Amino acid sequence: MPTEILPVASVSTKANVYFDGKCVSHDLLTAGGQRKSVGVIFPAQLTFATAAPETMECVGGACEYQLQESGPWLRCEPGQSFQIAGNARFNIRVPEIFHYICHYG
């Protein structure tokens, strides 16, 4: 008897494009209801604002991020992640294409 394959996640086919194309992502909803986005940031220095807490996971390339306006710049490489509070702003510098997964909540 054939086995039914259940979807693990659904992915939005419409891209989210920010900062004149310097950041492009797709929304992902897991079968368990977790919201994430998967995307790339092209070389740039950008400032993002969050609504809910986020964890940025680096899956390729690297970035430097600053969680507070006058705080230190920290580096994030593949296999590493950093957390941002909800209703906050953070700066990110990307010297090469940065591939990420953003986990919300």
Topology of 9-104 in CATH?
Jelly Rolls (2.60.120)
81-103 burial: b if 16+ Cβ within 10 Å, else e: ebebeeeeebbbbbeeebbbbbb
Size (the chain), residues: 105
H or E element, residue 82: strand 81-84
pLDDT at position 67, please? 96
**What is the overall mean pLDDT for the chain?**
94
pLDDT at position 46, please? 98
Quote the radius of gyration of the chain (alpha carbons, Å). Answer: 15
Average pLDDT over residues 12-34: 95
pLDDT at position 61, please? 98
